[in-house]
């Protein structure tokens, strides 16, 4: 651990606030909802003294539109919500995707659908995070499992949003949101912060959506001398409505800038995967339970391994495929009906058996449940 | 070593504060890894209320209690609901004996602390009973240090409540020390 930082005891939601501030977020907009409320509370307390702005909007629809506007005003902006609010935000997430607006949306998942279980953990929004808005687009979603990761992944979310000009979803759950743990906060000068690219051309030569060679257009803020044409329709490089090939080029680019950079974006953690016959693929809070189960299994002589997905979208298909080629079985414990298990199946391409371990009762798995599933296979 | 702590009672007893204080004491002052959680939602504001703290020398994987090593019970409802989680031979159970009368005989290690009585008579505040329990727990189990608890109360408390809570810790600690000496001296508690 590097020196000079501080250690604090924080809930995941509080650590998320610290991470956002460290990443340079100075605009928060949202509507309170459990189990995400501590993020709004923390931002309301901490943003004004830091020179930032906190706005409680009338609902989540307005919140997410304000988020997009703030980002175009040059701010690093965030909102946080839970399932029902996340539904309302899909409209604005689509807007952020097509206008290539860097922003961070935290979804502290609760059981669903609809009002669901407001105080129970869930991972039921994993597909909604990826496919919630209409049309073709790609975005990035990260799944923290500890307070420390809530801090670090929130910073990462801002950096990825700025780098790729895309909405980034932090997909937390009630357990990570409310568990108090030690969080190490490094000194500000040791935290890497990415800022959006600025145009290299004078205003007269600038086109709002003309990408550089990396597929990502520079993004000046409004009122900085650059003419900006930002619309929610499919558009050309000038920002005017476009059809046919021009429209197709935009849709292709919105997708490619994320999917073709999956190698750079996707992060996973592996434990004992080299010789494992059974691999547990997991993410979020469930990963902590799985880690315990895998360690217990190893102590009892079972060749178990763990692949923890820190990035959910773009899906780390390459990493899953690699472990699938070596293992006999993959177990996928999730606090939903078996969503990411489908992606794992697709990525593993039949190389090994994929067994979902769904959990729907508003509780996390306990290690013994996963351990029993590990022991259901060959030693 | 991994140790699991549970405190349970009803909302308004300060159960969640007990969890936060234990977590802060162990995590910031005893230099342990910690993971604390609590009842969430309406139950925490009047119904059955519970907090858990996992304390470990190593990184904590599973953040919740599986078989609590130490349990504090501050209502009979909490006893009926949660006591079955404790290993009757190894677990240590501390009860507020003002509020919890009977305990099943199979639980080997039971400490009876009249915390609500102590809080009322010595501090004039029933609400300080939780801190009396924590002081006693530090003396009897060593799960967290007494100094750590004091520092955590100073960190997390507000104004006059901090003074009362520190006094409550002290009363509980003294009570626990006396119990421990009596037990070590062979006396039956």
- Tell me if B76 is assigned to some domain: yes
Say whether A9 and B28 touch across the interface (CB within 8 A): yes
- For residue A180, what is the nearest residue in chain B, using CA coordinates? B36
Nearest-CA neighbor of B166 among B179, B180, B154, B174?
B154
Mutate which: A1, A116, A179, vs B, most B CBs within 10 A: A179
Say whether B61 and A289 touch across the interface (CB within 8 A): yes
pLDDT at B159: 83
pLDDT at A264: 98
- Tell me if B163 is assigned to some domain: yes
Q: H or E segment at B18? A: helix B15-24
CA A123 to chain B, closest CA, distance in angstroms equals 17
Average pLDDT, chain B: 93
Say whether A181 and B41 touch across the interface (CB within 8 A): no
Other C-beta atoms lying within 10 Å of the C-beta of residue B48:
18
- For residue A294, what is the nearest residue in chain B, using CA coordinates? B61
pLDDT at A349: 97
Say whether B63 and A175 touch across the interface (CB within 8 A): yes
- The partner residue sitting opposite A181, judged by closest CB among B34, B38, B41, is B34
Distance CA A43, CA A14 (A): 9
CA B182 to chain A, closest CA, distance in angstroms equals 36
Write down all domains in chain A, each with its CATH number in brackets: 6-190 (3.40.50.970), 269-375 (3.40.50.920)
In the predicted model, is pLDDT for residue A1 greater than 60?
Answer: no
- Answer whether the bond into residue A113 is a cis peptide, omega within 30°: yes
ipTM beyond cut 0.85: yes
Other C-beta atoms lying within 10 Å of the C-beta of residue A37:
18
Say whether B64 and A364 touch across the interface (CB within 8 A): yes
Joined together, the tokens standing for residue A32 give: 């309170």
- For residue A293, what is the nearest residue in chain B, using CA coordinates? B62
- Tell me if B25 is assigned to some domain: yes
Say whether B62 and A181 touch across the interface (CB within 8 A): no
Residue B81's pLDDT band (boundaries 50, 70, 90)? very high
Say whether B37 and A295 touch across the interface (CB within 8 A): no
Distance CA A309, CA A141 (A): 11
- The partner residue sitting opposite B66, judged by closest CB among A181, A288, A366, is A366
* DSSP string for A309-363: ESEEES--HHHHHHHHHH-SEEEEEESSSSSHHHHHHHHHTTSSEEEEEE--SSS
Say whether B38 and A174 touch across the interface (CB within 8 A): no
CA A90 to chain B, closest CA, distance in angstroms equals 27
Chain A residues whose CB is inside 8 A of the B63 CB are 146, 175, 179, 181, 285, 288
- Tell me if B54 is assigned to some domain: yes
CA A311 to chain B, closest CA, distance in angstroms equals 19
* DSSP string for B49-116: EEEEEEEESS--SS-S-SS-SEEEE-SHHHHHHHGGGS-TTT-EEEEETTT-----TT--EEEEE-HH
| Residue where the block lists tokens 């590097």 | A2
Q: What is the mean pLDDT of residues B102-112?
A: 96
Chain B residues whose CB is inside 8 A of the A292 CB are 61-62
Residue A93's pLDDT band (boundaries 50, 70, 90)? very high
- Tell me if B137 is assigned to some domain: yes
- The partner residue sitting opposite B63, judged by closest CB among A118, A179, A182, is A179
Q: Hey, which residues 133-162 in chain A have their CB within 8 Å of chain B?
A: 146
Q: Hey, which residues 46-85 in chain A have their CB within 8 Å of chain B?
A: none
Distance CA A185, CA A154 (A): 13
Phi, psi dihedral angles at B83 (to 5 degrees): -60, -30
pLDDT at A36: 96
In the predicted model, is pLDDT for residue A137 greater than 80?
Answer: yes
Chain A residues whose CB is inside 8 A of the B24 CB are 9
Chain B residues whose CB is inside 8 A of the A180 CB are 19-20, 23, 34-37
In the predicted model, is pLDDT for residue A130 greater than 70?
Answer: yes
Could you read off the pLDDT of B19-64 as tens digits, one per residue? 999 999 999 999 999 999 998 766 666 678 999 999 999 999 999 9
| Residue where the block lists tokens 């899906």 | A315
**A24 close to B (CB below 8 A):** no
The CA-CA-CA angle for residues B170, B171, B174, to 5°, reads 85
Distances (CA, A) of B80 to A359, B88, B99, B114: 27, 14, 13, 19
- Pairs of CB atoms within 8 A across A/B: 63
Chain B residues whose CB is inside 8 A of the A111 CB are none
**A181 close to B (CB below 8 A):** yes
pLDDT at B184: 78
Q: What CATH number should be reported for the domain holding residue B58? A: 3.40.920.10
- Tell me if B151 is assigned to some domain: yes
Mutate which: B63, B65, B151, vs A, most A CBs within 10 A: B63
| Residue where the block lists tokens 């189960």 | A293
Say whether B28 and A366 touch across the interface (CB within 8 A): no
pLDDT at B41: 67
* Residue-number span of the structural domain to which B148 is assigned: 2-184
In the predicted model, is pLDDT for residue B155 greater than 70?
Answer: yes
Q: H or E segment at A43? A: helix A37-46
pLDDT at B187: 53
- Are A147 and A178 contacting, i.e. CB atoms less than 8 angstroms apart? no
Q: In the sheet that A329-334 helps form, which strands lie side by side, from edge to edge? A: A268-271, A304-309, A278-282, A329-334, A353-358
Say whether B34 and A174 touch across the interface (CB within 8 A): no
- Whole-prediction pTM: 0.96
**A296 close to B (CB below 8 A):** no
Could you read off the pLDDT of A26-49 as tens digits, one per residue? 999 999 999 999 999 999 999 999
Distance, first Cα to last Cα, chain B: 29
In the predicted model, is pLDDT for residue A191 greater than 60?
Answer: yes
Other C-beta atoms lying within 10 Å of the C-beta of residue A334:
25
Average pLDDT, chain A: 97
pLDDT at B185: 73
- Tell me if B68 is assigned to some domain: yes
For chain B, the domain total comes to 1
Distances (CA, A) of A181 to A150, A190, A226, A257, B54: 11, 21, 46, 36, 10
pLDDT at A119: 86
**A292 close to B (CB below 8 A):** yes
- Tell me if B11 is assigned to some domain: yes
CA A103 to chain B, closest CA, distance in angstroms equals 29
Say whether A367 and B62 touch across the interface (CB within 8 A): yes
**Chain-centre distance for alpha carbon A87:** 16
Say whether B37 and A179 touch across the interface (CB within 8 A): yes
């Amino acid at each position: 651990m590097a020196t000079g930082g501080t250690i604090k005891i924080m809930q995941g939601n509080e650590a998320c606030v610290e991470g956002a501030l460290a990443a340079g977020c100075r605009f928060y907009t949202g509507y309170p909802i459990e189990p995400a409320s501590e993020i709004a509370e923390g931002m309301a307390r901490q943003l004004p003294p830091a020179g930032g702005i906190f706005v409680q909007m009338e609902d989540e629809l307005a919140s997410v539109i304000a988020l997009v506007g703030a980002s175009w005003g040059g701010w690093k902006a965030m909102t946080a919500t839970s399932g029902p609010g996340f539904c309302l935000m899909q409209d604005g997430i689509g807007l952020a995707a097509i206008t290539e607006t860097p922003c961070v949306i935290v979804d502290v998942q609760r059981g669903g659908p609809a009002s669901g279980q407001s105080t129970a953990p869930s991972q039921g929004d994993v597909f909604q995070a990826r496919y919630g808005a209409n049309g073709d687009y790609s975005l990035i979603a990260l799944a923290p499992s500890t307070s420390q990761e809530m801090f670090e992944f929130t910073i990462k979310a801002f950096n990825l949003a700025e780098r790729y000009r895309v909405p980034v979803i932090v997909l937390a759950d009630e357990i990570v949101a409310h568990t108090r743990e030690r969080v190490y906060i490094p000194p500000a000068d040791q935290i890497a912060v990415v800022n959006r690219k600025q145009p290299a051309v004078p205003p007269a030569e600038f086109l709002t959506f003309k990408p550089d060679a990396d597929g990502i257009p520079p993004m000046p803020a409004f009122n900085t001398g650059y003419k900006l044409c930002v619309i929610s329709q499919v558009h050309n490089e000038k920002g005017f409505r476009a059809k046919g090939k021009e429209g197709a080029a935009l849709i292709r680019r919105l997708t490619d800038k994320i999917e073709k950079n999956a190698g750079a974006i996707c992060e996973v953690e592996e434990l004992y995967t080299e010789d494992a016959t059974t691999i547990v693929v997991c993410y979020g809070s469930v990963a902590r339970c799985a880690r315990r189960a895998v360690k217990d299994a190893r102590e009892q002589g079972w060749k178990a391994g763990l692949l923890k997905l820190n990035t959910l979208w773009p899906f780390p298909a390459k990493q899953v495929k690699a472990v699938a080629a070596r293992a006999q079985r993959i177990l996928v414990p999730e606090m939903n009906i078996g969503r990411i298990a489908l992606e794992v199946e697709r990525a593993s391409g039949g190389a090994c058996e994929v067994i979902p371990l769904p959990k729907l009762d508003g509780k996390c798995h306990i290690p013994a449940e996963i351990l029993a599933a590990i022991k259901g296979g060959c030693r | 070593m991994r140790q699991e702590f549970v405190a349970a009672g009803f909302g308004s007893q300060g159960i969640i504060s007990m969890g936060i204080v234990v977590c802060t004491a162990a995590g910031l002052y005893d230099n342990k890894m910690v993971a604390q959680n609590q009842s969430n939602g309406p139950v925490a504001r009047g119904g059955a209320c519970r907090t858990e703290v996992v304390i470990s020398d190593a990184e904590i994987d599973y953040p919740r209690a599986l078989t609590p090593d130490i349990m504090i019970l501050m209502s009979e409802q909490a006893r009926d609901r949660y006591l079955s989680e404790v290993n009757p031979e190894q677990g240590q159970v501390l009860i507020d004996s003002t509020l919890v009368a009977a305990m099943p005989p199979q639980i080997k290690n039971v400490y009876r602390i009249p915390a609500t009585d102590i809080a009322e008579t010595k501090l004039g505040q029933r609400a300080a009973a939780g801190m009396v329990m924590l002081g006693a727990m530090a003396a009897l189990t060593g799960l967290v240090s007494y100094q750590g608890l004091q520092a955590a109360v100073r960190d997390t408390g507000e104004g006059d409540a901090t003074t009362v809570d520190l006094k409550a810790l002290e009363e509980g600690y003294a009570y626990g020390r006396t119990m421990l000496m009596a037990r070590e001296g062979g006396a039956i508690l």
